[in-house]
Structure 1
Amino acid sequence: MRRGRLRYLLGAAFHQMAWTEWGPPEGSPVICVHGLTRNGRDFDVLAQALAGQGRRVFCPDLPGRGASDWLPDPRAYAPPSYVMALAHLLARLEGPVDWVGTSLGGICGMLLAAAQGTPIRRLVLNDVGSQVPAAALQRITAYLAEAPGPSDLAGIEAYLRRVHAPFGPLTDAQWRHMAETSTRALPDGRLALHHDPAIALPLAEAEKGAPSGPIDLRPIWQAVRQPVLILRGAESDVLEEATAAAMAQRPGVELATLPGIGHAPALMAPDQVARILAFLG
C-alpha cells in the first residue's frame, strides 16, 4: 500500500485530497470511492484482491474524510465538490478507468460516467441507484446527529458496530480494522471519528427547511452507457428492490442481490469480492 495526495481547486482555494494506492504502477486503474461517513481504507480487502490481478487501485478519501483536507464552508460538502476533486484524479491518470462506488461514491461515479468524454469504462454501484428514498435520507441524517464524542478505540468500534450493522456479517478482526482506520487522535490522546463533523450540516439544514424528498438521479442514470454491476443488499432502504429492478432492464446492467445485508455491503466477503473481480475482468 502506498499513499498519495493531489491538490484540487474548489471555489477560490486549493485543497488536498489523499488516497491509498495498491498494485503495480503500470496496472490498469480502478478507483474505489467510499460512502458518506467512511474513507478509502474501507476497500483494503477489495484493493488487495484487485492488485493481485495486476490492477492499480486508488482509494481516495473524499473531502472532509480520512487524510483529506476539511473544507472551510460546510455547504461545500455535496456531490459537486466531490466530483470536482475526483475529476482532478481522473485527469492525472489520463486514460480509461473502472469505478467502484459505495453509496455516495456510487452517486459520484454515476455523475462522472454520464459526462461527455468520460474516462470511466465500467461501473460498479454498491447499493445505490437512480433514486434514494426520503426515509433513507432521514435515517442517515438521524445517525449523523448521534455521532459519538471523543472516546477510546473500543467505544468507536461499538458505535460502528451499531450504526453499520447493515453492512453484513463481519468478523471481529474486520470490525476492529474498521475502527482503527476510522479514527483520528486528539491532543488529549482520545480518539474521534476520522471525518469532519460538519459533513452532516447540509443534510441537517435541508431537514430544517422542509422534509427531505427523494433524490432523483434518473436523468443522470439515463446518460450512463457503460457496463454496470449493481450490488444490492436485500434489506437495503437506500436502493429499493423496484429501483434496482428497473435499472437492470437496461442492456449491459448486471444486478446481484445479497441476502441478509442492508445498506451497504462491506465488500469484504469473498463472494462479494469475487463478483467484482469477475465483472472488472
Structure 2
Amino acid sequence: MPGRGSVDVQSRFFAAPDGLSLHVRCYEPEGALRLPVLCLPGLTRNEADFEPLARYLSADSDRPRRVYALDSRGRGRSAYDPDWRNYNPAIELADVVAVAAALDLGRAIFVGTSRGGILTMLMAAVKPSMIAGAVLNDIGPVIEPAGLMRIKGYAGRMQRPNDLQHGAAMLRDLFGTQFPNLTESDWLAWATRNWREDRDGLLPRYDQALAETLKDLRPDQPMPDLWPQFEALPQVPLMVVRGMLSDILSADTLRAMQGRRADLQVVEVSDQGHAPLLAEPVIMEQIAEFMQRCDDRASQG
C-alpha cells in the first residue's frame, strides 16, 4: 500500500455548451505533476462511484495525480435537462470536451465505466490528442442485448425505498447474482450512491427521464457496434476491466478487442458483473501501475 498524502477535495461547477450546470468532483493533491485523470460514469451512475479510486490515486504520496470525476447531465449534482432527448452521447461528449477545457486538462487518462467508456471511444474520434491513456470499465465495441434489456428493465422504474437499508436490500435483490460477494456494508454504500435524501424521502441520484432514452431498445435489434471508434483510440496505453459475470461485455468481444490491440492490458474481476466497482486495493493498484505506463509513454513524446 503506497503512502497517503493530503488531498484537497472539492466540488466545482461548470457550464455545458448549452449553459446547463455540470458538477465535477475534484481531487487535487499538492505537487501532482503526473498526467491527470478524468472519470466518466455509467448511464444512471454518478461521480461517487469513483471515490475510492480517486482517493487512492490522488493520495498516493509517491505518485500523486489530480483526479476529476464528472456527473453527466441529469446525474448526481449536475442539472437535469428539461428535454430528455439531450441525454444522448453526442451532447454528453460535447459536455466532456467543455469540462476538460474548463479544467485545463490538456492530455489526460480517461477512466470510463459503461456509458463513460462509450464517450471515451467517441472522444478518440473527435479529440484523440486529449487521450494519454484509457481504462474502459466493462464496455467494448459490442454491447450485449441481454444486458441492455436488463438495464432497460430497472432504469427509471425502481420503487422508492423506505430508507437506505431498504434500498440496500432492493439492490441486493436486483444485482446479487452479478455481485455475489458483496457484504451488507457494501450494499448500503451502493444504496447511498444510488439515492439521495429529500424532504419527500429518498430520490434516485439521476433524472428518471433517462429511461426514455431506452424505450426503443429491442432484444432483436442490437445497437450498432463501435469498432471504428475503438480503432480510433490513439496508440497510447489501453486497459479493459471486465467483470467475469458481466452481461454487457462478453468474453468473445474482449478477445476480439485483444486481436485488434495486441498491447491491450486486461483485468478480469472474477466475482463481479456489470460494472466492476474499481474499489478493491488489488484492482486500484493495477490501475495505478497502468497509469504509470501512461506517464512513461507520455514522457517519451
Unaligned runs of 5+ in 2: 1-8, 293-301
Cα pair 1:134 1:215 within 8 Å, conserved: no
Q: How does 1:1-281 map to 2 (within 5 A)?
A: 1-10=9-18, 14-24=19-29, 27=32, 28-53=35-60, 54-92=64-102, 93-144=104-155, 146-149=157-160, 151-165=162-176, 166-167=178-179, 169-188=181-200, 190-204=201-215, 206-207=216-217, 211-225=220-234, 226-249=236-259, 250-281=261-292
Unaligned runs of 5+ in 1: none
One-letter amino acid of the structure 1 residue matched with residue 78 of structure 2: S
Larger CA deviation: 221-230 vs 152-161: 152-161
User: TM-score, normalization: structure 2?
Assistant: 0.85
One-letter amino acid of the structure 1 residue matched with residue 225 of structure 2: D
User: TM-score, normalization: structure 1?
Assistant: 0.91
Residues in 1 aligned to 2:191 and 2:118: alpha-carbon distance in whole angstroms = 25
Residues in 2 aligned to 1:80 and 1:220: alpha-carbon distance in whole angstroms = 13
Larger CA deviation: 161-170 vs 125-134: 161-170
Residues in 2 aligned to 1:164 and 1:100: alpha-carbon distance in whole angstroms = 23
Residues in 2 aligned to 1:172 and 1:98: alpha-carbon distance in whole angstroms = 33
Alpha-carbon deviation of 1:158? 1.9
SS at match of 1:229: strand
Q: 1:168–1:233: structure 2 CA closer, same or farther, 3 Å change rule?
A: farther
SS at match of 1:9: coil
SS at match of 2:288: helix
Larger CA deviation: 260-269 vs 66-75: 260-269
Larger CA deviation: 34-43 vs 23-32: 23-32
Residues in 1 aligned to 2:173 and 2:29: alpha-carbon distance in whole angstroms = 37
Deviations along 1:116-172, one digit per CA (max 9) or x if unpaired, are 453111000010001102222111111225312353222222222333432563343
Alpha-carbon deviation of 1:77? 1.1
Deviations along 1:72-103, one digit per CA (max 9) or x if unpaired, are 11111121121111111111224110011111
One-letter amino acid of the structure 1 residue matched with residue 193 of structure 2: T
Cα pair 1:23 1:48 within 8 Å, conserved: no
SS at match of 1:248: helix
The two structures, once aligned, show a CA RMSD in angstroms of 1.9
SS at match of 1:185: strand
Larger CA deviation: 82-91 vs 253-262: 253-262
Matched-pair identity in %: 33
Larger CA deviation: 166-175 vs 122-131: 166-175
